[in-house]
Structure 1
Amino acid sequence: MKRILFFALILTSLSAFAQTQTANYFNLTRNGFNEKNAYETTAFVEKYFRIPGNTGFNASIHHVEEILKKAGYVEQKTNEFESPMTYRIEKRPMNRNTWEPVNASVTIVGESLPLIAYQTNRNMIPINCPSTAVGGITAEVIFVGKGAAADLEGKDLKGKIVFADAAAGRLISIATKAGAIGVMGYSVPKYNQPEKHQTSISFGSMPANAAIWSLFLSYGVKEKLKAACLKGKVELKVNIETKIYQAEELTIVANVKGSVKPDERFVYSAHVQEPGANDNATGVGALAEMARVTATLIKSGKLKPQRTLTFLWGDEIVSTRRYITEDTTRAKGILWGMSLDMVGEDTEKTGGTFLLEKMPDPSAIWTRGTDKHSEWGAGDVKEKDLFPHYYNDFIFDICKAQGKFANWVVNYNPFEGGSDHTPFLQNKIPGLLMWHFTDVFYHTDNDRIGAVSSQTMKNVGICALTAAYTLVTADENTASATVAQVKNDALVRLKTEFELSKKAIADGKSVTDEKHIIEVWGKYYTDALATIGTMAVAPKTTRIGSTIKVAVLAVEKQTQVYLSELK
């Protein structure tokens, strides 16, 4: 009977959508989202190595602009609500020069083919790397092992190229002081499986205005060059061409005006910078298509948002944080934030399953059972950092419903941080991340368009749009259905945690500690239920408050039952 009840709770949670407009929005977005459009935008953006101010970053911004204009967004002249759908490009002077790679190659003197070249390894040139002299330079390369003090002792580095089986960045200062003309190094994380994917290079940077150049190597190239150096003297021909220049930083923001409470809004964010396809050309492409779908539904009268929808593309974390903090009045109306980052993985090629990164809940403190952090790593979350809110379960249940519909694997991870959801959370605004991990090509130059799935982008876009449409038009029925959904999710989670604590006690763990975990989960969910009180745009009765009280009592009662059974 308990097992039957447990699965009944899960089914009730998923079927809650049938009681709201969410089912209709699923139909609209499934029919409206064109994955070909999202893929084509992704392919355009991924051609470039993108950092703020450079050619590729700006081309991506203007490509999105063209999509918005064709969809019917009007360029903002005075304010963002002067038309039902507006967009603007914000331009800001940069306090540092921008940079972009042009070309590079390294050839062992005496060999006809390059050891490594920019055409196949765009990440070989670190951000801020200067050019060599026109035509390149030729110099002896000195292998210094791991670059430890003992490895450098007695080495004549003047006029030489320093090569280490270690990160290049840590040797730049030492090499410069020793009179070296350049540094080459290797550093690829284990989750990228470099010994299997031997051409991968992780992108990175070097100090601006450094006196020497540096290059990054793949595992395969590093091993080949190391073997050559161990046999005897090796000379290299190195040619690097980059551009460093003053530029403006661009951010593009589009708005769909809410008809009832336009100052309350749902904000999407997708960062443009970084050189990869999945990271984050897919976020740019998916969000551009989401903005187009929204415009189409607005013009057809099928979508009538009562709160505002905002779409933002810019510099990761920087643009989102600025959007929130530079206008305190606007910030007060941001009710939800969502980051689209690495949303187009072909998981058969990359290995990374779709994840919803939750806002800080107790699983970020006590990660156990089927919960697990990604290889990105856990953050230092304390009880004071918990963010009880219905948003976690609301969005994940929508993702699960699309997963069931499309036979698409969805999962979640406890809060970790590191993308555009963090500025929302830092400013006490509910914010979530849609992403994939672990991706074996993450941050490497093998993150190319061939590892992107247009169907995955569609699934993510459907979830992100359906969730926002539901929230910006939420009424009492939506709120009441969400109360039922979150209550059921709470009861499922409490049962899971109870079983884990019961086993932990049997294995010798402290009863007091295990009871505390149950208490924190119970309190988390009663507080989360309370936040549903402000979901409806214009509630007409006190029904939502009464529904919340009943649900809170049910969660509190079940919490006490489990606490009494833990002995």
Structure 2
Amino acid sequence: MSYFPRFTRPARAVALLALSLPAGAAVAQGKPVAKPSAPSPAMAPITRAVSAAISGDRALRTVDYVQRYFRLPGNRGFDLAIDTVASLLRVAGYVDEASASPTARLVYRIESRPMRDLAWTPEGASITIVGQPAPLQSWPKNLNMIAINSVSTAPDGVTAAVVDVGAGAEADFAAVDVKGKIVLAEGNARSIFVRAMQKGAVGVLAAQKLPEYNQQSKNVTSIQFTGIARDTLTPGWLLFVSRASRDALKSAITRGPVSVHVVVKTLLESRPERTLVAEIRGASVPSERFMYSAHVQEPGANDNATGVGTLAEMARVAAQLVKAGTANPKRTVTFLWGDEIRSTDRYIKEDSVRRIGVKWGMSLDMVGENTAKTGGTFLIEKMPDPSAVWVRGEDKHSEWGGRPLAEKDIRAHWFNDFVRQRCLDRAAQTGWVVKANPFEGGSDHTPFLNAQIPAVLLWHFTDQHYHTDLDRIDMVSAASLGNVGSCALTTGLLLADGSRPVVLAALEELTRAAEKELATQKALGRDTLSRGGTVETEHHIIDAWRDFYLGAIDRIPDIAVGPMELGAALSAAKDRVRKAALYGF
């Protein structure tokens, strides 16, 4: 999930629609029913085949390798991840697109583009208080301690006195002489770094105030990754210190002058940005595609080595099923690994003909969490629906926060419910907890939606280790990887199939989901009226949900490959939705 503020996204929502699933129970509107539902007969063969073949343990091995490296576009860790996945694809039977025959169905390519900036790779760092035997902090144990764009010290490091400038405002700097010294500060690291370098400091040690969900008072060694602006005139280094390290330094300073020995090793290189694309070419309409995206950059295990590893495992299983004849997607299934948002956006925009064929998108980001350790829960971030406008009942917003969407932003579509049902099919067998939240943005689903392509995000939140260097492999669950990979791949293979049984099954699922949602909204409406709400408002909310589902039914034919007569079935489904939307108060 992108670190930077989500200014690229449309308006965010406040609501978080919780749909929990206790072990052995299915879910209707967040409430367990008596027995788990089995996949419909049309969905069952692919559902069961994917579920049996997907391996969370395989995915975990890939995650473990990728998470060892600090990954930014073009840097060495990023490219090691790309090359590792490419090797897994070759083992699975994918062939280089450049040398593949026209009839080859399993292909991949690595796209390379020149980068405007140099690629930055961290290689080592340590902070040692002079006179103490062990480092206060060291890399890679503290993987995020080197601010992005920091330059190296001399090979044997630098030793200098530490001066504490507090919050690092101009007045704080004016009160002390920092020339030739190492600055200790806590505040805006970017501005502090600029002031310190301009005043002749050797370098900067910066303490961070982390968001509340990071639970910094408990996770005292946590450091969030972020960077400083690249400066070719006064290059320097900034190291982030954890709360524990900050306290140790401040305590030492109260007892007298303190010097530290600092070593920083980084690389700045001219390297290309690379994107990996694998495809299972469609058997009859290869120009149409279901597309997955998993971003490679960011240094965490859950964020987003889990997306990289899960998508690699999904590509392996998909190839296995196609080679065995168990699956025969009529449409192309595309898997993409690259730079978050930018690679997906580029894929959509670079080729207008290709863009027309992208029918659905899915982003895999933070998909493998051990929720007992991180505190996060699995979420499907939905396309905008009425729950993003009205916060009601079990609707909640995530700790990302947000603002309500306007009614004009609602997108009537069946995709949210289709994906959720695939996850609930898996959950009925495993006891997996499945929840959903309204659109918030910030990951690879955003470019799809900006291009008017239906898309969802699969992720976890809230995570106490989000964007910190405690987001390591021990926070990842093989079971979570398997669960997410299973429902995600099942979704894509079914929609790439597009057969009449799948279309009719999807229509029936959608109609049932609409009936349940409308029943829930009417119950919420009666409760609101008992507490002083207005009939007009409650009728309007029910009407909005009714219209959402009527519009979603109109989009069901998009699933079909080729002409398909569905008029009577669509009309009957709409009649059921209209009946379910009768107010009753």
Please report the TM-score for the alignment, with normalisation by the length of structure 2.
0.90
CA deviation profile, 1:392-446 (whole Å, cap 9, x unmatched):
0000011112112111111111111111111100100011111111111111111
Return the match for 2:108 from 84, 87, 98. Answer: 87
Q: Distance in 2 between matches of 1:151 and 1:183?
A: 14
Candidates 352, 355, 358, aligned match of 2:382: 358
Whether the aligned pair in 1 keeps the contact of 2:390 and 2:404 (CA below 8 Å) is no
Q: Is the 8 A contact 2:417 2:513 kept in 1?
A: yes
User: Matches of 1:68 and 1:351 in 2, distance apart?
Assistant: 33
1:457-495, Cα deviation, whole Å (9 max, x unpaired): 111111011111111112222222222211221122222
Give distance in 2, aligned partners of 1:215 and 1:80: 51
Instruction: Determine the structure 1 residue equivalent to 2:21.
Output: none
Cα separation, partners in 2 of 1:12 and 1:291, compared to 1, 3 Å: farther
What is the match of residue 455 of structure 2? Answer: 431
**In structure 2, how many angstroms separate the alpha carbons of the residues matched to 1:459 and 1:77?**
34
1:292 corresponds, among 313, 316, 324, to 316
Distance 1:231 1:549, change over 3 A: farther
Instruction: Give the match's secondary structure for 2:245.
Output: helix
Q: 1:129-153: per-residue Cα shift (whole Å, max 9, x none)?
A: 1112232122222222233455444
1:521 Cα deviation (Å)?
Answer: 1.8
Of residues 436, 452, 474, the one that matches 2:476 is: 452
Which residue, 558, 565, 572 being the options, matches 1:550?
572
Shift of 1:185: 1.7
Whether the aligned pair in 1 keeps the contact of 2:38 and 2:425 (CA below 8 Å) is no
Q: Is 1:161 the counterpart of 2:182 in the alignment? A: yes
Q: Give, in whole Å, the separation in 2 of the partners of 1:316 and 1:381.
A: 24
Judge conservation of contact 1:533–1:545 (CA < 8 Å) in 2: no
Distance between the aligned counterparts of 2:32 and 2:352, measured in 1?
40
Q: Which residue of 2 aligns with 1:311?
A: 335
Q: Normalized per residue, which structure has more helix?
A: 1
**Aligned residue number for residue 280 of structure 1:** 304
Aligned-partner residue type, residue 567 of structure 2: G
Tell me, in whole angstroms, the C-alpha distance in 1 between the residues paired with 2:46 and 2:446.
27
**Unaligned stretches of 5+ in structure 2?**
1-27
TM-superposition CA deviations, 1:278-304 (whole Å, max 9, x none):
111111111111111111111111111
- Which of 49, 59, 67 pairs up with 2:88? 67
Aligned: 1:173 with 2:180: no
Q: Distance in 2 between matches of 1:151 and 1:380?
A: 41
Match of 1:415 in 2: 439
* Match in the other structure for 1:30: 51
- Give me the CA root mean square deviation: 2.2
| 2:528 is equivalent to residue 507 of structure 1 | no
Cα distance in structure 2, aligned partners of 1:464 and 1:313? 15
Task: Decide which of 128, 135, 156 is 1:107's aligned counterpart.
Answer: 128
CA 398–513 in structure 1, closer or farther in 2 if over 3 Å, else same: same
State the alpha-carbon separation in 1 of the partners of residues 284 and 240 from structure 2.
54
Distance apart, 1:376 and its partner CA = 2.1
Q: Which residue of structure 2 lines up, in the alignment, with residue 497 of structure 1? A: 521
Change (3 A) 1:123 1:557: same
Of 309-318 and 506-515, the range deviating more from structure 2: 506-515
**Number of corresponding residues:** 555
Q: Does 1:98 align with 2:119?
A: yes
Q: Equivalents in 2 of 1:468, 1:477: separation in Å?
A: 16
Shift in alpha-carbon separation, 1:82–1:216, aligned structure 2, 3 A: farther
Q: Helix, strand or coil: the match of 1:461?
A: helix
| 8 A Cα contact 1:276 1:447, kept in partner | yes
Among 210, 217, 222, the residue aligned to 1:195? 217
Corresponding residue to 2:282 among 258, 266, 275? 258
Q: Which residue of 1 aligns with 2:227?
A: 205
- Per-residue CA shift, 1:326-357, capped at 9, x if unaligned? 01101111111111111111111111111111
Aligned to 2:41: 19
1:136 — aligned with what?
Answer: 157
Query: C-alpha distance in 1, partners of 2:258/2:32?
Result: 65
**294-303 or 9-18: which moved more?**
9-18
Q: 1:403 aligns with which of 412, 424, 427?
A: 427
Q: How big is each residue's C-alpha offset from its partner over 1:364-416, in whole Å with a ceiling of 9 and x where there is no partner?
A: 22223212222122256322222221000000011112112111111111111
Q: Could you tell me whether the CA contact under 8 Å between 1:10 and 1:492 is conserved in 2? A: no
Counterpart residue identity of residue 196, structure 2: A
- Tell me how far apart the structure 2 counterparts of residues 374 and 363 of structure 1 sit (CA, whole Å): 13
Instruction: Spell out, residue by residue over 1:135-179, the C-alpha distance to the aligned partner (whole angstroms, 9 max, x if none).
Output: 212222222223345544422222222222334223122223333
* Contact in 1 for aligned 2:169/2:192 (Cα 8 Å): no
Amino acid at match of 1:156: D
Q: Tell me the distance in 2 between the aligned counterparts of 1:48 and 1:33.
A: 25
- Contact between 1:13 and 1:484, CA under 8 Å: does it hold in 2? no
1:192 counterpart letter in structure 2: N
Indicate if the aligned counterparts of 1:125 and 1:215 stay in contact, CA closer than 8 A.
yes
Aligned partner of 1:524 in structure 2 is 548
Question: Contact between 1:101 and 1:241, CA under 8 Å: does it hold in 2?
Answer: yes
Task: Check whether the contact 1:14–1:397 (CA below 8 A) recurs between aligned residues.
Answer: no
Gaps of 5+ in 1: 1-5
Go from structure 1 to structure 2 and tell me whether the alpha carbon gap of 1:13 and 1:287 turns closer, same or farther (over 3 Å shift).
farther
Distance across 2 between alignment mates of 1:217 and 1:507: 51
Identity between Structure 1 and Structure 2 (%) = 46
Distance 1:248 1:494, change over 3 A: same
Q: Which residue of 1 aligns with 2:488?
A: 464
